[in-house]
């Protein structure tokens, strides 16, 4: 019969920042038996966002607004899609966040009737 290794108790943290700092510097192996882990599903979790100020040439912003209008989405949403796709491409992975409305690439759009 296999003996289960005694796990260390997970410390209590006063804040999320304290917990984050702890786990950034400690291995989880002595604390968690990952063989018993289950996939968590969080359907109502909204990604945190940060407001930034971004200066764009007027012509670039105008072009973005034209494209957004063609796709019937807000230009900020379209900009987020473009940025997410490019960042994912540069990092070698698939983009994960999309706006609610599906945006099809220009030239592949279904004909409107």
Q: Tell me the pLDDT tens digit for each residue of 2-50.
A: 556 788 999 999 999 999 999 999 999 999 988 888 888 888 888 888 8
Report yes or no on 103 lying in a domain.
yes
Nearest to 71 by CA among 100, 112, 103: 103
- Assess whether 54 and 80 both reside in one domain: yes
Query: Could you give the percent of the chain with pLDDT greater than 90?
Result: 52
**Residue 95 class from Cβ within 10 Å (0-12 exposed, 13-18 middle, 19+ buried)?**
middle
Nearest to 98 by CA among 106, 108, 88, 107: 88
- Token pair, residue 31, equals 């604390």
Structural domain including 92 reads: 45-108
- Assess whether 77 and 52 both reside in one domain: yes
Residue whose tokens read 């007027």? 58
Question: What pLDDT, on the 0 to 100 scale, is given for residue 80?
Answer: 93
């Amino acid at each position: 019969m296999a003996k289960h290794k005694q796990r260390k108790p997970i410390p209590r943290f006063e804040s999320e920042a304290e917990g984050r700092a702890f786990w950034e510097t400690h291995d989880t192996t002595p604390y968690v038996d990952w063989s018993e882990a289950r996939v968590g599903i969080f359907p109502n979790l909204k990604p945190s966002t940060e407001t930034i100020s971004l200066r764009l040439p007027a012509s670039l912003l105008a072009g973005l607004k034209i494209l957004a209008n063609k796709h019937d989405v807000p230009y900020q949403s379209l900009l987020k899609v473009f940025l997410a796709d490019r960042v994912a491409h540069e990092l070698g992975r698939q983009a994960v966040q999309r706006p609610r409305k599906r945006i099809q690439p220009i030239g592949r759009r279904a004909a409107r009737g």
